Amino acid sequence: MSIVRLEHVFKEYTLGEQQVCALNDISLSIEDGSFMAIAGPSGSGKSTLLNLIGCIDTPSLGKIFIDHQDISGRTPDELSDLRARAIGFIFQTFNLFPVLSAAENVEYPLLQFKELSVTERRSRVSKYLAIVGLSRFARHRPNQLSGGQRQRVAIARALATQPKIVLADEPTANLDHKTGEGILQLMKDINGSFRTTFIFSTHDRRVMEMANRLVRIEDGQIVRHEAEEQETSLS
Ligand code: ADP
Ligand code: ADP
């Protein structure tokens, strides 16, 4: 079952007089439960691809299906609702609110789910802080945490809404190698226990090797698509 499908997707940006073709005819099907890396040089279109899958931006041409729903023609409100319920985001610069504690950062995206009571919200926060190993740091602010711990808070925040898909744009780029590996291993463990689909972009070869699916893009086109043999034979 594919959780994400792109059909002949193009994305052009207008820069003054110039047209930049950031994605040039991308077709891609991502199986539910994948742990997928998007690799490619800087400027190849990785962030653009993640933004389209994350419904942050819309394609110039082509169709995108998220969880079997065609997202073309959706209103901005419908897209933001889909995004809030189906997708979690992790960024290379962590993007935490500096004045909020770790627990408050994790709680923040849950505030828009009116159906959750305060108690349910708090228990989600504790649960996901525990999953990322930060229960003891709930009251710390981001500047009282290391880079790796900040990224763990961001992972807890992304998971707290229980999304089907987590998108991570270069999640280890600002971490030293060992810390980055720990973050990837944590993502992989979560992928294993909850079957949450992870799609992450990276430059780091060792990070790519942890993926069970690898898409390499250059100049907005897929130049290589690999899946682990085991997975291919299952599908
Ligand atoms: P990557 O994430 O692989 O570094 P991007 O998706 O950020 O690549 O960029 C792909 C191409 O699209 C680049 O040529 C970049 O300059 C261009 N681009 C990205 N975002 C914009 C934008 N908002 N406006 C104009 N051009 C953009
Ligand atoms: P419970 O919360 O029922 O006690 P566990 O904590 O043992 O169960 O783990 C299963 C739980 O994982 C589900 O109940 C649900 O709260 C949580 N879960 C489901 N889907 C996801 C997801 N995509 N990401 C993170 N957690 C999820």
Tens digits of residue pLDDT in 31-88: 999 999 999 999 999 999 999 999 999 999 999 999 999 998 889 899 998 998 899 9
CA dihedral (181, 190, 110, 70) positive or negative: positive
Nearest CA to ligand 2 atom 12: 194
What CATH number has the domain bearing residue 146? 3.40.50.300
For the question of an ipTM over 0.90, the answer is: no
Number of domains comprising the chain: 1
pTM: 0.87
CB of 191 closer than 6 angstroms to any ligand 2 atom: no
Pocket test for ligand 2, best of 162, 186, 195 (most atoms within 8 A of CB): 162
Residue 234 within any structural domain of the chain: no
Q: How far apart are alpha carbons 129 and 120 in whole angstroms? A: 14
CA distance 27 to 181: 30
CB 173 within 8 A of CB 183: no
Distance 193 CA to ligand 2 centre (A): 9
Asked whether residue 235 is domain-assigned, the answer is: no
Name the one residue in this structure whose structure tokens are 């002949």.
8
pLDDT in tens, 86-137: 999 999 999 999 999 999 999 999 999 999 999 999 999 999 999 999 999 9
User: Containing domain of residue 78, as a range?
Assistant: 2-229
